[in-house]
Amino acid sequence: MKTLDKDEIAALGIEGGWVLGLEDFVRYGDLDSNNHVNNKVYHAWFENIRVLYLQGLGVGLVLDGKAAIKPVVRSAYMEFNAQMMIGEDYVSLCHVSKLGRSSYQMDFAVWCAGTFRATGHVTMVMVNATATKSCPIPDDMREIFVTRDGAKTR
């Protein structure tokens, strides 16, 4: 796994305040019948880096549905700017850009050969274990979002 932190991403000349990057490449399994990366594969890439981000927070969240409090995806948006082909190297990127009491927005991008091939964001909501009630974002998460990621309070 070749992850990149804020400084390493900036050193590559990638703008946008990203705090976590993952270097990767397009595999055969990412392609569809048009011989380019399928649209839903970008969602998979963004999901994978979102989980890496969560694991890196170090704030006691677990990912197997048994946590007292956990983030769930409320909505997702994505723009597809240019197609990607087998073998292309890319960096998937993320950071938290906005936050409210119980929800936050995480922005994503795929950087490849000097341009953003796809960008997007999800709105995450902190919920209880049964996902029946929203919960405030824990203070330690909130602190990281604001201080490290530069997230704006809504």
Work out whether strand 20-25 and strand 3-5 pair parallel, antiparallel, or are unpaired: antiparallel
101 binds a copy of itself (CB under 8 A): no
The dihedral of CA 45, 50, 51, 53: what is its sign? positive
122-141 positions binding a copy of itself, by CB under 8 A: 131
Q: At 77, list the tokens.
A: 């948006």
Work out whether strand 152-153 and strand 89-99 pair parallel, antiparallel, or are unpaired: parallel
At residue 57, the 3 state secondary structure works out as: helix
Question: Which one of residues 74, 133, 152, 154 is an interface residue with a copy of itself (CB under 8 A)?
Answer: 74
| Candidates 12-20, 44-52, 99-107, 143-151; binding stretch for a copy of itself (CB under 8 A) | 44-52
- CB 120 to a copy of itself: min, Å: 8
Which lies closer to a copy of itself via its Cβ, residue 23 or residue 146? 23
